[in-house]
Amino acid sequence: MSETDKETPPTQIEIQTEEEKESPYSNMWVPLLVVPALIAMVLVLVGSFFQLLSTDQKSPEKNLELLLHGGINERQVASFELVRQILEYQHASNEGREAEWGIDKSFLDELRRERAQIKAPEVPNDVWVPFVLSSLLAQLGDGDGVRQLIEVTELSEEFDPGASFRTNSIFVLGSIGLELEESLRHQVAERMIVLVSEEDDGLALLAAGALQNLASPGTQAALQSLLGNRRADLRLQAALSLTELGDDSGTKVLLELVPRTVYEAEHEAFPKRWLPQTVSATREKVLDALAVLKRLPPAEELMALAEGDEDPNFKSKVLTLLGEGPTPGM
C-alpha cells in the first residue's frame, strides 16, 4: 500500500475491487479456521511450498549437502526430504521409538553451524535455503532458529513477493508455540501481536491463528481487538483462538456465525470468500467451539436452524452435539 493509500482510505467500492483480486492467503483461511492444531498444516504447507517429491531416498546428511551446494532442483527436493526426515525424527522421539533415520546431536549441531554461516539475503532467491534451515532448527527447539523465523516474518515484499516465506514462518512458529519455553514463546507472541494490528489482512489472519498456541501477557487482548473487525474470517479466527486459550470473550462472534447469513452476505460482496465447502466446515467448527465454551444456542433453536438448512454436515453436527448422533470431537 502506498503512502497515498494510507492517508486517504479507499471507498467501500474500492475496497471490494482490491479484495476481489486473487490473494496468496485465499487457500490458507480454511485450515486456520477449521484445524485446531497448526502442526498438521505445517506438514501440508511445507509440501505444497516446495511442490516436489523425491523417489530417491537419501540420508539427512546427503540432503543437507544437496540443500547447500546442489543445483536448484536438487536443493528443492533435498529441502522437502530433509523437512520430512526431521519431522519423522521428532515424532519418533516424542513417542519413544527409534526414528527411520539416525539423526543425532552431531547432525543437529551441523545444521546450526551451516545456518550460522549463511549471509543475509541480497535477492529473493537467497531466502529459501536459510528459511528451510531456520524452520528445521525452530521445530527442534533451537532458540536461534525461532528468532530467525521471526525475522523472516519481517521481510519486505521485495525479498518475499507474495509473502510465501512470511506465511510459512507464521505457520511454523504457531505450530511449535506450545513447545517453546516461556521467554521464547513471548517473543514469538509479541511479533504475532504486531502482525494482527498491521494492514495486511492475510498475515493478520495467520497470526491470529498462531496466537492460539502462544499464550502471553498481550495475547488475549490482541485477539479481542479483532472481534469487531469488518472481516468475518478475522473475527472468527480471533474467537476460535480465544476459545483455544480458554477465553469466552468471542462467544458473541461465534453465535453470530452459526447461521448462514453472515457468510452469504460477505460472499455476495466478495465472491471469492466463503465458498460452500468453506462455510460448511467453518460452521461445524463454530459449533464445536461453542460446545467447548458451553454456550451453544438452546436445543430447540439449533434444531429449527438445522431443519431449515440444506447442509447435511451442519445437520449432522447439530444432532451430534444434542446427543442424537455420534460422540462429538473437536
Asked whether residue 169 falls in the same domain as residue 273, the answer is: no
pLDDT digits (tens, 9 = 90+) for 169-184: 998 899 889 989 999 9
Asked whether residue 137 falls in the same domain as residue 235, the answer is: no
Local structure of residue 121 (DSSP, 8 states)? P
Could you tell me what percent of the chain has a pLDDT over 90? Answer: 47
Q: Of 160, 186, 216, which residue constitutes the final position of a domain?
A: 216
- Is residue 4 situated within a structural domain? no
53 has a pLDDT exceeding 70? no
Asked whether residue 210 falls in the same domain as residue 229, the answer is: no
Q: Of 193, 216, 239, which residue constitutes the final position of a domain?
A: 216
Q: Of 185, 216, 247, which residue constitutes the final position of a domain?
A: 216
Amino acid (one-letter) located at 216:
S
Here the cell at position 103 is 539423526
Q: What is the pLDDT of residue 56?
A: 63
40 has a pLDDT exceeding 60? no
Please tell me the least confidently modeled range out of 9-23, 116-130, 287-301, 309-323.
9-23
Please tell me the least confidently modeled range out of 63-72, 93-102, 300-309, 315-324.
93-102
In 3-state terms the chain splits into helix, strand, coil percentages (rounded to 5) of 65, 0, 35
Could you tell me what percent of the chain has a pLDDT over 70? Answer: 81
Residue ranges of the alpha helices (H) in 8-127?
12-19, 29-34, 39-50, 60-69, 72-94, 105-117
188/45 Cα distance (integer angstroms): 20
Domain of residue 85, residue span: 24-216
Asked whether residue 193 falls in the same domain as residue 321, the answer is: no
- Which carries the bigger pLDDT value, residue 315 or residue 2? 315
Q: What is the pLDDT of residue 79?
A: 79
| Backbone torsions φ then ψ of 327, nearest 5 degrees | -60, 125
- Is residue 11 situated within a structural domain? no
Q: What is the pLDDT of residue 241?
A: 94
Average pLDDT over residues 80-107: 77
Asked whether residue 230 falls in the same domain as residue 177, the answer is: no
Cα torsion at 108, 207, 155, 109 (round to 10°)? -10
23/30 Cα distance (integer angstroms): 13
Angle in degrees, 0-180, between the axes of helices 232-244 and 201-210, rounded to the nearest 10: 10
Amino acid (one-letter) located at 108:
L
Please tell me the least confidently modeled range out of 1-15, 37-51, 71-85.
1-15
Asked whether residue 282 falls in the same domain as residue 265, the answer is: yes
Q: In the chain, how many domains are there? A: 2
- Is residue 92 situated within a structural domain? yes
Asked whether residue 199 falls in the same domain as residue 229, the answer is: no
Please choose, from the candidates 150, 178, 177, 176, the residue with its C-alpha nearest in 3D space to the C-alpha of residue 165: 150
Asked whether residue 134 falls in the same domain as residue 255, the answer is: no
Asked whether residue 125 falls in the same domain as residue 48, the answer is: yes
316/320 Cα distance (integer angstroms): 6
Average pLDDT over residues 209-238: 95
Local structure of residue 161 (DSSP, 8 states)? G
pLDDT digits (tens, 9 = 90+) for 266-317: 999 999 899 998 899 999 999 999 999 999 999 999 999 999 899 999 999 9
Helix or strand or coil: residue 250?
coil
Cα torsion at 153, 156, 161, 165 (round to 10°)? -20
Asked whether residue 206 falls in the same domain as residue 229, the answer is: no
Please tell me the least confidently modeled range out of 67-71, 97-101, 244-248, 251-255.
97-101
CATH number at residue 116: 1.25.10
